[in-house]
Amino acid sequence: MAVNTRVVAHDTRTKLEAAVCAEMDRQGLAHSHRLLHYRVRMKSGKVAKYEPAIVVHRGPILFLVEPHVSVTATERSLRFLEQHSPEIVYVAVAPARIAARMPPESYDELYKDTELPALVRRIREQDPEGAVRIFLKRRDRTR
């Protein structure tokens, strides 16, 4: 029996999030929006709330897909990655000009807004029982 994973209406906050959602829907990848709630201790010592925009479960592996429309949230993502489980894959999606400025330590995987089909295919093809595939990060050109 085929299961319909198509979701008619998701509450998205940006055009980029809506585009990711639409591509996930088109490829039949079940996902949720703002399903999880985290606390992240910032460098200042303050605690920031973090609700991932899009959540996808692949067995015990959890993909958090976060659209970035500016580089201002990179500190929060960097601190989140330092403080949370290795079973979580933090996927950043951004326009090319933003993606080029994101520090490699602020994401596990990074896709440009023009690479949405590849992003969704990568998550869809992740073996739920296997190891998370290695993602080769770009080298920081300023070092």
100 closest CA partner among 90, 89, 113, 88: 113
Mean pLDDT score of the chain: 88
Rounded to a whole number of angstroms, the CA Rg of the chain reads 15
DSSP notation for 18-59 = HHHHHHHHHTT---EES---EEEE-TTS-EEEE--SEEEEET
pLDDT single digits (tens) 11-62: 888 999 999 999 999 999 999 999 899 999 999 999 999 999 999 999 999 9
| Domain-embedded: residue 43 | yes
- Boundaries of domain holding 91: 15-124
pLDDT at residue 137 in the model: 81
Average pLDDT in the 108-134 region?
94
Which tops the pLDDT comparison, 143 or 133?
133
Biggest alpha carbon distance in the chain?
Answer: 54
Q: How many distinct structural domains can be found in the chain?
A: 1
| Domain-embedded: residue 1 | no
| Domain-embedded: residue 30 | yes
CATH code for the domain of 63: 3.40.1350
| Domain-embedded: residue 33 | yes
